[in-house]
């Protein structure tokens, strides 16, 4: 199971140029040189971006003759989306639970911060740990 950490993936997706590369790559595999012809940046810049994208597993290098083409790994996007969705649901669920608990505690006169600490201890998801097993 290649549990890539979420944050670097999002950091990689948080760049317009990188989206441009991914979009252009959506038209089929291409090399850094080929992409440089379609995007307003240098080949080297694209090469760096491709390295970043490869680092987080969003893209995959494929040797074709003397060219080094890159292929988008769509499943990685989907997998990331899955985890993100789970987090969103989890958050909503948890906050709904807290709101209810807070109301109950207000009746008994206990500070609501106690409830907060209870829920704070180690969230169900781990986003920054999890070693890369690539």
Residues at the site binding DNA, with contacts judged by CB under 7 A: 15, 17, 31-33, 40-45, 47-49, 52, 65-69
Closest separation between CB of residue 66 and its own copies, Å? 17
d(CA 18, CA 21): 5
Site string for its own copies, 94-133 (x = CB under 8 A): xx--x---x---------x--xxx-xx--x---xx-----
d(CA 97, CA 109): 18
Is residue 28 within 8 A of residue 72, CB to CB? The reply is no
Q: Which residues from 19-58 bind its own copies, rule CB under 8 A?
A: 19, 22-24, 26-28, 30, 38
Q: Where are the alpha helices (DSSP H) in 26-126?
A: 32-38, 43-55, 74-108, 112-120
**Is residue 43 helix, strand or coil?**
helix
Question: Which residues sit at the interface with its own copies, rule CB under 8 A?
Answer: 6-8, 10-16, 19, 22-24, 26-28, 30, 38, 71-72, 74-82, 84-85, 87-95, 98, 102, 112, 115-117, 119-120, 123, 127-128
């Amino acid at each position: 199971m290649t549990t890539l950490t979420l944050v670097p993936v999002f950091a990689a997706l948080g760049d317009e140029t990188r989206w441009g590369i991914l979009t252009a790559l959506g038209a089929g595999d291409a090399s850094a040189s080929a992409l440089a012809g379609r995007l307003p940046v240098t080949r080297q810049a694209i090469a760096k971006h491709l390295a970043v994208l490869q680092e987080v597993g969003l893209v995959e290098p494929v040797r074709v003759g003397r060219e080094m083409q890159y292929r988008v790994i769509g499943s990685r996007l989907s997998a990331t989306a899955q985890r993100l969705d789970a987090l969103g649901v989890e958050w909503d669920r948890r906050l709904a639970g807290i709101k209810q608990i807070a109301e109950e505690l207000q009746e008994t006169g206990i500070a609501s911060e106690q409830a907060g600490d209870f829920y704070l201890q180690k969230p169900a998801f781990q986003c920054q740990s999890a070693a890369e097993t690539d």
